[in-house]
Amino acid sequence: MPNEQPSPPAFELAYKPEPRRKAFNILLIVVDDLRADHLKAYGYSRDTTPCLDRRLSAATVFTSCRSPVGWTLPGCASIITGQLPDDHGLVDHNRRFQKPKLGHYLGAGYFRVGITNNGNVVSDSISLETLESLGLARRPAKWKHFGWDSGFDRYLWTPREDHVRPFDLACEFLDGLPASAEGKPWLLFFHTNIVHDYHMERDYYLEAREWLGEEVHPLLRAVKDGPEVWRSPPAGLNPAEVTRHLRAKYDAGVRFADRKVEELLRRVDFSRTIVVFTSDHGEGFEPELGRVHHCGRLHEDLTRVPLVVWLPPELRGRYEPRAVEPRAASTVDIVPTVLTLLGDAVAGFPGCFLFDLPTHRRLTGCDRGYVYWNEDCLRESYDTCRIEVRSELVYPLKRIAVRKNDALKELAYNLAYDPGERENLFATLPRPIPGLEPITFVVAVNDPEELRSNLLSSPVARSRSHQWLLVENSGNARYRSISRLYHDALKEARNDLVFFVHQDVLLPEGWEERAFAALQDLERRDPHWGVLGAVGALPPAHGSQKQLRGHWCDPSGYWRLGPLPHEVDSLDEQWLGIRKSHGLSFDPDMPGFHCYGIDLSLAARDRGLKSYAIDAFVWHKHRAPSGYLVERREDSPKIRRRWSDEFMEEFRPCADHVERKWRKFLPFQTTTWTWGTP
């Protein structure tokens, strides 16, 4: 039978919710295709969301939220299930949900309503004839059996040709409370396709004169949805003009969606409702890179999405959320966060609680439905080839692997230097590095696994240009003083440029280029520099907080404190660089394993040389010896040990030695300690 409905899937919940003490209402708003950087709150120059902006003072804005995929079907499925695409199953149009949705976890105690506006979130109850009349006959069986209705008491789908109807339905529902919710707390999953459909000819997309300085071009008032308009622009238009006009239409759509969403928010009792505003993916406007429309890629224009959460006062008092949260969030965090806020002890989710995010986090993405293989704005789908696009982001380091049949492309980016992802650090042909000279790397090794997981996993460790002196010192059996170890190793260095690097430092892709560019910049300013490194402390100033300069990550966070290069009092010992020809060395009489960095910087000062932090990003304590990312300070045994009395017993003799030796320079300080009073 062509209209026979599939049986609802029987999902096994990952946990069984206990009776909830207080059940807040939940409003989950998904604005399809809304990229974060087209909102003023995320730094956009155009005033696209004035209504939303007025409400942000009572919300938490997550500035670093990502979707795990770049198109609607898997993106919305991840939002409503809290699962990654590989787990929820909707990776293409042949699949059904394999995991429960938020509504399943809320259970019959909630009145659960879905109102949606895109063919990828279509209700199973829509007839085949209706789908065919809407142009979805290309794959009628596939479009019909996703399983979106399951987990909702009422699921209302409107085709995207009618953008306003979903808002009318949602307003009717909210105006009719509590009768329309049958006296229960409620969930409203609301999805709008307004921003997505800027290709259409609608008045609200054409209100773009203030940004264009003219009317939308007649040939761009209505175009075919997809990448073809950039691949084959209308006669007389180049891709840049197409982009300029379509971007303005897109922004006009964002502004109209903002006004319509405000109609919903005006009807919400925020004292009793958890409100979440987000998107499933973004949109591309870079035809010169082949990055247009969406699907088939996992670049930031598609994966970085807005996320704003309003908590009722009772929950705000309990969790004291930040107004702005810069730590990495994901749309898969929404479901476990809502359930945690309701008091559930959640399990079985890959996401985090949004109000207790780790300092660092590995975010993965996956697209198995579409691919852009070349920079030609030609998109292919699972109908024509085997596809797998995967990404991994631990900010600022990002990797993407693209597979088409048996071919593989790999890309790597440092988003701190290259937020537009234009420079692939995995470029096939090696590029000459200006100013490259051989380095001698000196490394004290007392944990081979930590060394392998960090420094030796750095691309520069595979270079044949440099000398590596790995000094085995497990259990401090050979050396009881790191200063003496470095002093002796310096005698073996073949190169003038010598870097003393901790075994737990990662020098990421592109580090050589950045290091030598920074070194050339420094030597133009000060050819006789003394010591350089990734991060240093400024001289102490009376009554002021300690100030650092540098560009690095550590278990405390990501830091870019400039301007760089910058003269500093001393440098953090994670990485120290000198030139042998400048005559510096380490003090062989310096005791223990601490304070040798400040000792070296003060020795340089005594010779009239300066210490500098330069802009060559490194990651200190990137992975634990097990190979796992160090997500929080508490995850690092070395950092935990710093809070112990045993550590201070080791540290004090080193600090006392430095103070006696360099009393004439007091006060001075490191990134963690201060000697004397400013």
Closest CA to 239 of 374, 375, 370: 375
- Residue 12: the pLDDT is 83
- Residue 541: the pLDDT is 86
- Residue 152: the pLDDT is 97
What is the spatial order of strands in the sheet that 387-394 belongs to? 363-367, 387-394, 397-404, 407-414
Closest CA to 372 of 305, 292, 427, 283: 292
- Residue 140: the pLDDT is 46
- Residue 6: the pLDDT is 55
- Neighbouring-strand partners of residue 307: 278
d(CA 103, CA 15): 14
Query: Which amino acid, 8?
Result: P
Q: What is the pLDDT of residues 415-436, one digit of tens each?
A: 999 999 999 999 866 778 888 9
Given this chain, do its domains 25-358 and 439-675 carry the same CATH topology? no
- Neighbouring-strand partners of residue 291: 286
Chain center to CA of 544: 33
Q: Does domain 439-675 have CATH number 3.30.70.360?
A: no
Beta-carbon contacts of residue 641 (< 8 Å; ≥ 6 apart): 647
Domains of the chain: which residue ranges? 25-358, 439-675
Tokens at 247, concatenated: 């971007």
Question: In 90-155, which ranges are continuous DSSP H helix?
Answer: 102-106, 128-133, 140-144
- pTM exceeds 0.85: yes
Domain 25-358 architecture: 3-Layer(aba) Sandwich (3.40)
Asked if 551 and 616 touch (Cβ cutoff 8 Å), the reply is: yes
d(CA 435, CA 111): 66
SS3 321: coil
Instruction: Give the Å distances, CA to CA, from 106 to 128, 192, 421, 653.
Output: 31, 23, 40, 59
- Segments of the chain scoring below 50 in pLDDT: 1-3, 140
Closest CA to 106 of 342, 310, 354: 342
What is the DSSP secondary structure assignment for residue 521, as one 8-state letter?
H
